[in-house]
Amino acid sequence: MPRHINIPIFIPHVGCPNACVFCNQRSISGRMDFDPALVDGQIAEALSTVGAEDTCEIAFFGGSFTGIDRELMLYLLGVAQRYVDDGRVMGIRMSTRPDYIDERVLSDLSRFTVRTVELGLQSMDDRVLAASGRGHDRECALKACGMIKQAGYELIGQMMIGLPMSDSQSEVMTAREIIGAGADGARVYPTVVFYDTELACMTERGEYTPLSDGEAVERTKNVLSVFADADVPCIRVGLQSSENLADESKVMGGANHSAIGELAMGELYYERICREIERRGIRGGELTVYVSRGSVSKAVGQKKKNKSRICQKYGIRRIKVLEKNQIMGYNIILEHNT
Ligand code: SF4
């Protein structure tokens, strides 16, 4: 089956004068060395591993792409564009910050086949943004979203769970505002506390308490539910598992569970199945739960947790979870036999 592949080019912290409390870009991207001359080779190497049927985008991730030195940005876009012109990739995507979007940046991007701009919004709550040292406010974020949509790009809103001064209500509000701003998709990152960050110092001073896995799962589930209700896909939950994330010496605390996304999606399925059982007054008997393609393991839950919880709670003898092509997102259909 053809896949969509992002060929990631990590540009760690290049050109970023900001100091978000959670950010240690070295730990997140796993590399600090960046040599623009190597980018062409990295793309070619990545393309040699993809199938002829796969669709690819070259993705400048890891920093604030439109905030780097303009000549470097144009050079990198030019390298990527050659692969678009050759027909080997369909377009270019990038991640950046809201305050690095303006008319000039959009004019530069319009010279290349940029399809998607991912904005690190993190929160739409000014108190949270200030406490996290983001250096921009909600108004700036909304303006950038509007300009990106107006320019015709796909917009992906990135947000975080568990930032300083944040709570579930603030995160749900952020998800709603990202949807309202026209996002075509979202990424949700529960906060991981890396050493050598201000957040680690705040934790040591007792000014911040890292998320437990349980809190991260619950609060992530709450925003996934908001995005699901609006049919806005979450294309990623949690940081990629990388050596540094697995490396205990780099991570002080927070949502560092490698399957945090699966766990949160499992909780969302549990909530939705329970809601439907309650609505229909189902008790006992046998249940078949139909879910969207590729979602069976999430609906079943890790170690079949959802199945056993539902059987116990509602006295159900047996649950089957099956996929059905017509079902989209987190929608479910229940069949009950007494
Ligand atoms: S803007 Fe991005 S790269 Fe810069 S400090 Fe914040 S999170 Fe790190």
* pLDDT for 319: 96
> What pLDDT is attached to residue 187?
97
Length of the chain: 338
pLDDT given at position 9: 93
Q: Region 90-112: what's the mean pLDDT?
A: 97
- For residue 74, give Cα distances in angstroms to 42, 63, 111: 17, 15, 10
pLDDT score of 217: 97
Which of 13, 160, 163 for a ligand 1 pocket mutation test, highest count of atoms within 8 Å of Cβ? Answer: 13
pLDDT value at position 30? 46
How many Cβ atoms from other residues are within 10 Å of residue 154's Cβ?
16
Predicted pLDDT of residue 162: 98
Residue 198 CA to ligand 1 center (angstroms) comes to 12
Per-residue pLDDT at 62 exceeds 90: no
Q: Could you tell me what percent of the chain has a pLDDT over 90?
A: 82
pLDDT band for position 16 (50/70/90)?
A: low
Name the β-bridge partners of 290: 322, 333
pTM confidence score: 0.93
Q: Which of 190-194, 244-248, 254-258 has the lowest mean pLDDT?
A: 244-248
Mean pLDDT throughout 139-159? Answer: 98
Give the pLDDT band (50/70/90) at residue 141. Answer: very high
Residues with CB under 6 A from ligand 1: 13, 16, 18-20, 23, 25, 63-64, 97, 120
258 pLDDT band, cuts 50/70/90, is confident
Share of residues in the chain with pLDDT > 70 (%): 94
φ, ψ dihedrals at 315, nearest 5°: 60, 35
Cα–ligand 1 centroid distance for 196 (angstroms)? 14
109 pLDDT higher than 90:
yes
Cα torsion 247, 253, 255, 257 to 10°: value is: 40
Please tell me whether residue 35 adopts helix, strand or coil conformation: coil
Question: How remote is the CA of residue 179 from the centroid of ligand 1, in Å?
Answer: 23
Residue among 24, 97, 160, 239 to mutate when testing ligand 1 (max atoms within 8 A of CB): 97
pLDDT per residue as tens digits for the range 161-187: 999 999 999 999 999 999 999 999 999
Is residue 28 scored above 90 in pLDDT?
no
pLDDT at 18 over 90: no
261 Cα to the center of ligand 1, angstroms: 22
Average pLDDT estimate for 143-147: 98
Instruction: Identify the pLDDT of residue 244.
Output: 53
Instruction: Report which of residues 256 and 309 the model is more confident about.
Output: 309
For ligand 1, the distance from its centroid to the CA atom of residue 63, given in whole angstroms, is 6
Task: Report which DSSP code applies to 137.
Answer: -
Residue 241 has pLDDT above 70, yes or no: no
The CA distance from 141 to 147, in Å, is: 10
Task: Tell me what pLDDT residue 243 has.
Answer: 47
Instruction: Please tell me what DSSP assigns to residue 236.
Output: E
In single-letter form, the type of residue at position 286 comes to: E
pLDDT for 246 equals 62
Query: For residue 19, what pLDDT is reported?
Result: 81
